[in-house]
Structure 1
Amino acid sequence: MGYEANYIHPELKISAFTEHFHKSDVLFETHLLVWIISGETKIVQGGQTHRFGAGDTLFFPRHELVTVINYPKDGLRHQSVVMHLSDKRLGEYYAKHRVDVQRVARPSFRTFDKHPLLQSCLASLVPYFDLHEPLPEALAAIKIEEAMTILRTITPEIDHILADFGQPGKINLADFMEQHYMYNLPMTKFGYLTGRSLTTFKRDFKRTFQTTPQRWLTEKRLDLAHYLIREKKRRPSEVYLEVGFENLSHFGYAFKKQFGYPPNAGAK
């Protein structure tokens, strides 16, 4: 995989990717605050693609689907500081800072660009990764609380995300799948995100779409790829990851089987 993670504390790490690129469809169990040191990150969510580079700060809400593609750039591997904002840590924080939480329907990732407060906070962690022992809990708690205070200062409405400890409830299956079919996740995760057990998810899916989840997902992903290649003149090597395929050869085989010609012919 070409991935390295250096933890100085269970909630603080530096992540590094050394391959040409690394793509993952992720569902984070905790909120994440990420500061990019080097390399480039492409985020695909809600049918939109965003690019970020060194110095940018990103926030990923827990339990939200997002595609993350990390690339080396300018001869430097992709490297970032990652801070996990756990439910336990947030629960302790909001026990001292009471807020009235309003449920946010579907929070998406946020970018704070190169905000100086967040940059200085997260950059100050970098020297600690040279330690040969774990960061003391008291010091880690200070740095994490500093980051949370900055987030609340520059984006007060983020309280409604950080202080919401509820689990996903049962939602409209058709609406959710139409918005998230390009994410390559186990069926159990799709079920969890729609508030269903795996058995109930498959039953409701068959009733809604008149087919199996895997067949429907493959057709939807191929249709999106076909549109991007034919209408948007994108290269197959660019789109196969974005639409939910993990392997370019498998994508080419499935595309030709569906449309009768290979994807590179569709780009002409």
Structure 2
Amino acid sequence: MEFKTRYITPDIKLSCYEDSLFKTEIAFEHHMLVWFISGETKIIQADTSDVFRPGDIFLIPRNRLATIINYPRDGRPHKAVAMHLTVERLKSYYSNIDVRSKGSPQQKICRFSHHPLLQSCMASLIPYFDLQDSFPEHIASLKINEAISILRVIDPAIDQVLAHFDDPGKIDLVDFMEKNFMFNMPLEKFAYLTGRSLSTFNRDFRKKFDALPRQWLTQKRLELAHYQLAGHRKKPAEVYLEVGFEDLSHFSFCFKKHFGYAPTALAHGE
């Protein structure tokens, strides 16, 4: 396969990666419904880690920090269909539906693995990716509304996730950062997710932690890596991506500078 991503519309895509792995750290602006075709995906959130395999269907809630690591498996590429459930589309869908809020929506990924209704809906999109002409918007809307309707049949509680349209409010900075420091996100994103402007975030951070954000983040990530290497006997190549580093050599350099020895020393039990 030659392609990496094909789009039916901006909100519906088919991705295919044949490299050894593809990693991203993100807080999606919109909910993401994913049908997994081949390969393997590991998704790490603040307090949980999930592995998804062929046939799995799951919903990643918007504005939730996650590290996503995609792998080819068994000689097949990493391949998945993804559908963005945008706030605008959901507002339109729910405009005539009475949904009573029960507080903040859940933050964890919602699994709907191998459900025949949802799998049939997602699989029906595959032929459209080979269309030479543009895909009609009204048909795309029908397919997305179909997916939303099926989600509501499968899990009535999903309304508390999909029908929650508020931006993040101002939350406890210390609690949020202690749970999410391992995600390598711009400070602007951390500020937004804690309900602050960047200048307010920086000011509040220095007041709470008595440190600059980037220095504190690097130290916390290195300490977590040390714990994983020493306590769980993991290898540096297994750890650096999960603690917020993009490059193994840069991770090793920072680790040795901070602790005075290389991460391989712990991995080898030296």
Partner of 2:193: 193
Normalising by structure 2, report the TM-score.
Answer: 0.95
In structure 1, what is the Cα distance between the partners aligned to 2:66 and 2:262?
28
Q: Give the CA deviation at 1:117.
A: 1.8
Partner of 2:10: 10
Partner of 1:99: 99
Matches within 5 A, 1:34-183: 34-104=34-104, 107-183=107-183
Normalising by structure 1, report the TM-score.
Answer: 0.96
Partner of 1:243: 243
3-state SS, counterpart of residue 241 of structure 1: coil
Listed as ranges, the gaps of 5+ residues in structure 1 are none
RMSD value over aligned CA atoms?
A: 1.4
The one-letter code matched in structure 1 to 2:145 is E
Work out whether residues 8 and 133 of structure 1, in 8 Å CA contact, stay in contact via their aligned partners in 2. Answer: no
> Identity over aligned residues, as a percent?
51
Q: Report whether the alignment pairs 1:261 with 2:237.
A: no
The one-letter code matched in structure 1 to 2:174 is A
3-state SS, counterpart of residue 4 of structure 2: strand
Q: Give the CA deviation at 1:38.
A: 1.0
In structure 1, what is the Cα distance between the partners aligned to 2:205 and 2:3?
35
Question: What whole-Å deviation, never above 9, does each CA across 1:225-248 have from its counterpart, x for those lacking one?
Answer: 111110101111011000000000
The one-letter code matched in structure 1 to 2:69 is I
Q: Give the CA deviation at 1:137.
A: 1.8
Q: Which stretch shows the higher mean deviation, 173-182 or 22-31?
A: 22-31
Q: Give the CA deviation at 1:87.
A: 1.3
Question: What whole-Å deviation, never above 9, does each CA across 1:95-119 have from its counterpart, x for those lacking one?
Answer: 1222112232552222222222211
Partner of 2:26: 26
Work out whether residues 17 and 78 of structure 1, in 8 Å CA contact, stay in contact via their aligned partners in 2. Answer: yes
Listed as ranges, the gaps of 5+ residues in structure 2 are none
3-state SS, counterpart of residue 242 of structure 1: coil
Question: What whole-Å deviation, never above 9, does each CA across 1:64-119 have from its counterpart, x for those lacking one?
Answer: 11110001111111111011111111111101222112232552222222222211
Change beyond 3 A, Cα 1:212–1:105 = farther
In structure 1, what is the Cα distance between the partners aligned to 2:88 and 2:195?
23
The one-letter code matched in structure 1 to 2:127 is P
3-state SS, counterpart of residue 100 of structure 1: coil
In structure 1, what is the Cα distance between the partners aligned to 2:198 and 2:27?
17
Work out whether residues 34 and 80 of structure 1, in 8 Å CA contact, stay in contact via their aligned partners in 2. Answer: yes
The one-letter code matched in structure 2 to 1:258 is H
In structure 2, what is the Cα distance between the partners aligned to 1:20 and 1:3?
16
3-state SS, counterpart of residue 240 of structure 2: helix
In structure 1, what is the Cα distance between the partners aligned to 2:3 and 2:179?
29
Partner of 2:222: 222
